[in-house]
Amino acid sequence: MADVNALFDEFAIRRARGERPDIDDYLDRAGDAAAELADLIEGLLMSAPTPAPAPEDAVIVRALLAGQPPIQALRAAKGVRREAVVDRLRRALGTPERLRDRLRDRYHDLEAGLVDVRAVDRRVIDAVAGALGMAASDLPAWRLGPAGEQAEYAMARSALPVERFDVPDVAGHSPPPDPEAAELDRLFGLS
C-alpha cells in the first residue's frame, strides 16, 4: 500500500513550487487509499490560495475566447516563427529537406487544431513543446483532448459549400507511394 502521507507531501510540495501535479496520477498511485488521499488534496486545494496563472494560460484563454487556435496564439505570443517550429520538427523527426513543405502543411494543420492529437506521435508533441519552450503536457491542444472542439471553430469560418470536383481515375498512372512521406503523415496521425 502506498504511503498516503508521502504522496500528499509530494503533491503539496510540487504545487507550492508552481507545478501542476496530475491529481489522477497521485490517486492511481495511492491504490486502495485513493479516497483518503483525495480528501487530503481537496482540503489543500480548498484552503490554499490559488496560484497565479502562468502567462501562457492567459494567452490560451484569450485565444479560445476569440475562437482562435491556442497553439498558434502561444507561438505568436512567444515570438516564435512557424519556420522555427518546422525546423525543430524536421530535426527531431529526421525529415528530409525535400519534404519540408509537406511537414509545414502538417504542422499548420496541427497548430490550427485540425488534427486529432490523440493520434499524433509523441516525438511531434515533444518537438513542438520544445520549440515553444514548454512542457508537452502544458500545450493546450494536448490538455483539451481531441481536435474536434478546436476544429469546430476553425471549420466554422469555411462553412460555405465547396464545389465538388470529379477526379479522374488515374489508377496505374500514379507514382509509387513515397515511404518517407507516408511516415511523416503517420507521425501526424494521418494514416
What is the DSSP annotation of 53-95? PPHHHHHHHHHHHTT--HHHHHHHHTT--HHHHHHHHHHHHT-
For position 142, what pLDDT does the model report? Answer: 55
| Identity at 76, one-letter amino acid code | A
More confident residue, 141 or 177: 177
What tens digit of pLDDT does each residue of 9-19 get?
A: 999 999 988 88
Give the span between the Cα atoms of 15 and 19, in whole angstroms: 5
* % of the chain beyond a pLDDT of 90: 54
Q: What is the mean pLDDT of residues 170-185?
A: 77
For position 91, what pLDDT does the model report? Answer: 96
For residues 104 and 82, the answer to whether their CB atoms sit within 8 Å is: yes
Q: Is 0.75 topped by the overall pTM? A: no
Q: Mean pLDDT score of the chain, rounded to an integer?
A: 83
How far lies 108's CA from each of 11, 14, 128, 158, in Å? 36, 34, 12, 16
